[in-house]
Amino acid sequence: MESNPLNREYYVFNSISCFHMCPGSICIKANAQSCGECIQVAESCGWCSDEVSFLSSGESKSARCDDLQSLKDRQCPEDKIENPRGAIVIDKDTPVTNRKKDSKEKLKPEEITQIQPQKLTLTLRSGEPQTFSLKFKRAEDYPIDLYYLMDLSFSMKDDLENVKNLGTDLMAEMEKITTDFRIGFGSFVEKTVMPYISTTPARLINPCTGNQNCTSPFSYKNVLKLTDKGDEFNRLVSQQQISGNLDSPEGGFDAIMQVAVCEEQIGWRNVTRLLVFSTDAGFHFAGDGKLGGIVLPNDGKCHLENNMYTMSHYYDYPSIAHLVQKLSDHNIQTIFAVTDDFQPVYKELQNLIPKSAVGTLSSNSSNVIKLIIDAYNSLSSEVILENSRLPEGLSITYKSICKNGVEGTGENGRKCSNISIGDEVSFQISVESQKCPSHGKSEVIKIKPLGFTEEVEVVLKFICDCECSAEGELNSQRCHEGNGTFECGACKCNAGRIGRLCECSKDEVRTEDLDANCRKDNGTDICSNNGDCVCGTCECKKRENPKEVYSGTYCECDNFNCDRSNNKLCGGHGVCECRKCICDANYTGSACDCSLDHSTCLAKNGQICNGRGTCECGICKCTDAKFQGPTCELCPTCPGVCAEHKDCVQCRAFDAGEKKETCERDCSYFQLITVKDSSKLPQPTDQIFPLTHCKERDANDCWFYFTYAIRNSTKEVYVVEKLECPPGPDIIPIVAGVVAGIVLIGLALLLIWKLLMIIHDRREFAKFEKEKMNAKWDTGENPIYKSAVTTVVNPKYEGK
């Protein structure tokens, strides 16, 4: 097979072009040596079987395995890309049964379908999930088998009385649910060895104390196999007697195991199977048998003789896990009818046993019918899917679409709740394989709803090789004297042979003669320390990142050791070829970090770097240090444009200002154009380049107007030829105003003085009036007048 170096160069370029955006290819990492190995790596992997021009110098045949897009990019013809896909074939797809309870048509249990489809064949490729839909519908009037398993230890004496009429009463209630109902009865006590029971002869005959008449102890007894005769149930149960034992826990697990596995003796049909377990005590489980010297684990097989469990003294109690397995295998749903004292214990047991329920039994079992109906409704309203053991490397996921469109994923994807009779739900089931099985190319798994006998058979077939391998040429001469099979465009070497063409034995891989062919320029490094010398040819090492590639006859080149800019290989503007950047158009430099595009240097006025610098690698280098910014437009220390050019405009246009004496030397850098008035000045909307309008004032407080702009590197100033000076003051109005102001101020002062005097006089007059009113003397008499008459009285005169 000849190599095409142009192909190799194309691949290197393409690899680098997606270096920063393509995900790493696990296909290359796998180092697959054949098409079969390649397609098992991942669903995205393909194998190029083109034997003519695909591989280049230094490439291993494992380079044929890559993601599909990479193979296309390397110009592998599409008809040469091996990429087999999985498929789904539905082998049996009987529709779910639709019928009403009152329908005249009576179907046999095996004629009723609740799950669809019933059989599928999945063809799986590693890493490619296959998803199919499974439909479940609860059929109306579905047959039910119910087996009542009762604890007959002495404490259940009053309960037995209430159960004696259970058969006919329960059948009457169940007729509301189904017209095909059967009922059976069994009882249990305990293992018939010490210390569970007393083994004295008298106690073996009557284990009860006092005058109580009890039957001999037993482990489990099948009293009545499943029947549709309720009166037969009542008759046989009425004949049962209470027994007794010594310890509190009972041997109920032995009884449950026998009920589950003895299908023929119990009479189970392939219908809904209910087991009602009634007790007022706890339970023994695996390991407890050691107390009685029983060490053999329960074998999970049927040991009923004459409807009696005969191996209770030989096998230990079953473990909970063993019990769960058997109940599930035989599709039995368990209802624990226990007294209130043992509710917590059996609630925990319910959590371990799928499709089980716990009901509170009254002290005398008077509520047992209601308990059974409620528990059945609870169990039947939920569907839970389970699958058989999966082959190694296989995974399965569920998604439920339940009532009212409610979806569930993860563990909730296996189940739907609150399902009524006639409701239809569906499940999306995805099966994915990670590898081919070691023992064969097909497997079978089964999926079923817990507690139901119907199941879906899924046949799994695995794609472990490519179609082209069937056309392989055994011991082909194209594989170095027949040392391999030529298939899918490459040699698949026989045991002990290696090399692209199987040309070497493993014992010859590192001989000195062959190594000499792998040294560049007779140097000391084999394959430039970047590869292995295989049969005198360098096979370059693979990097952890599959887009990083060693190449060349001596693996002397790579595509990841080029200069970087901004932490990007070749600045992100080129490709790395043999440790040298090949830049894209408009880029140059060792790291392709120098742009030849000047568009980034254009200022708002359309000039390169605003006329104040040069554009180097797409970045402005300002010639004057005071200018800054991407396009040299910013000058934090500069005055404004108007203030900067004010003095030069003033000296050149009006022969005045601070630069009048140096005007010719300092102010000849712009072209001056005069206009008659400000309306003639250029406007921003009239120009294709930015300009600035300025209004400045001179020493005489006169205003002058001008514009400043840069057109094609020429600085232009338009200025209004006349100054705008303010008019002089009018003296007469000013003097008149001052005199009038003085007169007005004088009048105002006189008026204020007059007002103050009036206020003062009024206050004095009011004060006088007040004092006048407060005078004490009479105004009709002279206060200083004295009378001239003097009256003298004789003190001795007595009036005689």
**C-beta separation of 535 from 518 below 8 A:** no
82 vs 208: which has the higher pLDDT: 82
Give the pLDDT of residue 21.
35
- Ranges of each domain in the chain: 87-99+109-140+385-463, 144-380, 564-595, 641-720
592-599, Cβ contacts within 8 angstroms, sequence gap of 24 or more: 592/565, 593/565, 593/566, 593/617, 594/618
pLDDT tens string 533-549? 777 778 787 776 657 77
Give the pLDDT of residue 755.
93
455 vs 158: which has the higher pLDDT: 455
Give the pLDDT of residue 350.
92
Can you name the CATH fold of 87-99+109-140+385-463?
A: Immunoglobulin-like (2.60.40)
Q: Mean per-residue pLDDT for 282-310?
A: 92
Strands 490-493 and 497-498: unpaired
Within 8 A by CB and 6+ apart from 659, the residues are: 647, 648, 650, 651, 666, 667
Using the 8-state DSSP alphabet, how is residue 655 labeled? S
Q: How many CA atoms lie within 13 A of 665 on its CB side?
A: 4
Within 8 A by CB and 6+ apart from 32, the residues are: 38, 41, 45, 47, 62, 64, 65
Q: Mean per-residue pLDDT for 495-512?
A: 72
Q: Could you tell me the pLDDT band of residue 24, with boundaries at 50, 70 and 90?
A: very low
pLDDT tens string 47-60? 998 887 787 766 77
Q: Could you tell me the pLDDT band of residue 777, with boundaries at 50, 70 and 90?
A: low
255 vs 536: which has the higher pLDDT: 255
pTM of the predicted model as reported, rounded to 2 decimal places: 0.58
User: For the chain, what percent of residues have pLDDT higher than 70?
Assistant: 90
Give the pLDDT of residue 246.
81
Preceding omega of 117 cis (within 30 degrees of 0)? yes
Q: Which of 119-128, 381-390, 655-664 has the lowest mean pLDDT?
A: 655-664
Q: Could you tell me the pLDDT band of residue 781, with boundaries at 50, 70 and 90?
A: low
Domain made up of 641-720: CATH architecture: Irregular (4.10)
Using the 8-state DSSP alphabet, how is residue 365 labeled? S
Give the pLDDT of residue 509.
54
Q: Which of 218-232, 529-543, 686-700, 779-793 has the lowest mean pLDDT?
A: 779-793
Q: In 3D, which of 645, 640, 787, 772 has the Cα closest to residue 705?
A: 645
The partner residues of 172 in beta bridges, in order of sequence, read none
Classify 241 in phi/psi space as left (phi over 0), alpha (psi -120 to 50) or beta: beta
The end-to-end CA distance of the chain, in Å, is: 192
Q: Mean per-residue pLDDT for 295-307?
A: 93
775 vs 705: which has the higher pLDDT: 705
Whether residue 19 is predicted with pLDDT greater than 60 in this model: the reply is no
Give the pLDDT of residue 16.
34
pLDDT tens string 242-252? 888 888 888 89
Give the pLDDT of residue 533.
79
Q: In 3D, which of 105, 184, 183, 185 has the Cα closest to residue 151?
A: 185
Return mean pLDDT, the chain. 84
Element (H, E) at 694: strand 691-697
Whether residue 88 is predicted with pLDDT greater than 90 in this model: the reply is yes
230 vs 685: which has the higher pLDDT: 230
Q: Could you tell me the pLDDT band of residue 11, with boundaries at 50, 70 and 90?
A: very low
pLDDT tens string 134-157? 999 888 888 899 999 998 888 888
691 vs 179: which has the higher pLDDT: 179
Q: Which residue has the tokens 């684990």?
A: 297
**C-beta separation of 208 from 154 below 8 A:** yes
Strands 45-48 and 81-82: antiparallel
- Give the Å distances, CA to CA, from 102 to 175, 177, 641: 12, 11, 100
**C-beta separation of 83 from 72 below 8 A:** no
User: For the chain, what percent of residues have pLDDT higher than 90?
Assistant: 26
Query: Measured on CA atoms in the order 68, 72, 73, 74, is the torsion positive or negative?
Result: positive
The alpha-helical segments, DSSP class H, found in 310-437 are 320-329, 343-352, 368-380
Element (H, E) at 794: none
Give the pLDDT of residue 245.
82
Q: Does domain 144-380 have CATH number 1.10.3720.10?
A: no
Give the pLDDT of residue 512.
65
Give the pLDDT of residue 437.
81
Preceding omega of 195 cis (within 30 degrees of 0)? yes
Coil vs helix vs strand at 595: strand
- CATH code given to domain 564-595: 2.10.25.10
Give the pLDDT of residue 308.
94
Whether residue 232 is predicted with pLDDT greater than 50 in this model: the reply is yes
Q: In 3D, which of 134, 139, 111, 40 has the Cα closest to residue 446?
A: 134
Strands 619-622 and 613-616: antiparallel
CA distance 439 to 436: 9
pLDDT tens string 404-443? 889 999 889 999 998 888 889 999 999 999 888 877 678 8
Whether residue 5 is predicted with pLDDT greater than 70 in this model: the reply is no
